[in-house]
Amino acid sequence: MRNRTTVTEFSLLGIPETEGLEKALLCLFSMLYACALLGNGLILTAVFSSPRLHTPMYFFLGNLSIFDLGFSSTTVPKMLSYLSGQSRGISFQGCVAQLFFYHCLGCTECFLYTVMAYDRFVAICFPLRYTVIMNHKVCSVLATGTWMGGCVHAVILTSLTFQLPYCGHSEVDYYFCDIPAVLPLACEDTSLAQRVGFTNVGLLSLICFSLILVSYIHIGISISKIRSTEGRQRAFSTCSAHITAIACAYGPVIIIYLQPSPSPLLGAIVQILNNLVTPTVNPLIYSLRNKDVKSALRNIFHRGNLTLETK
């Protein structure tokens, strides 16, 4: 048998076809990342500090903000680091951690949007029983289940990917460690990991999207039965933010998977939309048209101004 040198560090080649644009991308992505951190931090603060927002809908919104903070922080800091001219190297353990948290949080996102759709389904289709069905215990179990499900999903994919030996070639042709970019570097047959990974991710996304679609079909039927225009508008307004967020999350993915042979650049753009743009936009989606969230944010800024004036 020939000697093999085990890989201890990978090198990230970055975003395809963007040579010479590092400084412009660094400025753009830095601003988006700062906005994502600030926006989701404010949403979390509003949900925790305002008693009016201690309801199931805002409880799951707080979970979504935690997800957005974690999801963007999984890949963006390293990307900003090498865009600024620092080393593109990432340790083997760092690559494992990046892949694990990326898929853990990605799976959690699918589950969380599904649970939020179920919450809206109960609120609109069974309004009189809403507080009984979506009680504190049920919400806690659903939230815990989303995060635990994401962890189990990521453990399976990460173990399948990194149980393979990696030797010799260590350049990851992407801007972060993802399964399609890492598996070609393995020294043994990767067909099993590819099949399981594609089936797991694809089937999970399809099931979650189908459940969301079924929930909103029932919601649409219930809204159509409301006689007053004001009542229909009020019912629809409680779902519009969630529908917009789902479109931002699933839209780019659906577009790229419909392409017969998507280019690496298009794939990277879709990933950046999911990793950075969506976490930046979500706080705006849930705050601009939500009176309760805007009121809570105004109270936070008002208390901050009073504190500064007192000092």
- Determine the Cα–Cα distance for residues 277 and 82; give it in Å rounded to an integer: 19
Q: What pLDDT band is residue 9 in, cutting at 50, 70 and 90?
A: confident
Mean pLDDT across the stretch 275-296?
Answer: 81
For residue 292, give the DSSP letter. H
Nearest to 152 by CA among 214, 86, 204, 226: 204
| DSSP-based three-state secondary structure for 1 | coil
What is the value of pTM for the model shown? Answer: 0.86
Give the mean pLDDT of the chain.
84
Q: Facing residues of 6 across strands?
A: 167
Residue 1 has pLDDT above 50, yes or no: no
Q: Dump pLDDT digits (tens) for 77-102.
A: 999 998 998 888 999 999 999 999 99
Burial of 192 (0-12, 13-18, 19+ CB in 10 A): exposed
User: CA separation (Å) from 160 to 71, 73, 93, 183?
Assistant: 22, 24, 15, 10
Q: Dump pLDDT digits (tens) for 158-178.
A: 998 998 888 877 888 888 998
| Beta carbons within 8 Å of 10's beta carbon, 6+ residues apart | 89, 90, 91, 92, 95, 170, 171, 172, 177, 182, 185
Determine the distance from the C-alpha atom of residue 190 to the mean position of all C-alpha atoms in its chain, rounded to a whole number. 27
| DSSP-based three-state secondary structure for 282 | helix
- Determine the Cα–Cα distance for residues 273 and 279; give it in Å rounded to an integer: 9
In angstroms, the first-to-last Cα distance of the chain is 73
HEC letters along 154-213: HHHHHHHHHCCCEECCCEECCCCCCHHHHHHHECCCCHHHHHHHHHHHHHHHHHHHHHHH
**Domains of the chain from N-terminus onward:** 9-310 (1.20.1070.10)
Q: Please answer whether residues 280 and 32 qualify as being in contact, where contact means their C-beta atoms are separated by less than 8 angstroms.
A: yes
Q: Dump pLDDT digits (tens) for 106-127.
A: 889 889 999 999 999 998 889 8
Nearest to 203 by CA among 67, 101, 110: 110
What share of the chain in percent tops pLDDT 90?
A: 30
CA atoms within 13 A on the CB side of 15: 24
- Determine the Cα–Cα distance for residues 5 and 304; give it in Å rounded to an integer: 57
| DSSP-based three-state secondary structure for 90 | strand
- Identify the weakest region by mean pLDDT among 4-13, 85-94, 181-190, 214-223: 4-13
Q: Dump pLDDT digits (tens) for 23-72.
A: 999 999 999 999 999 999 988 988 888 888 888 888 998 999 999 999 99
- Rg over alpha carbons for the chain, rounded to the nearest Å, is 22
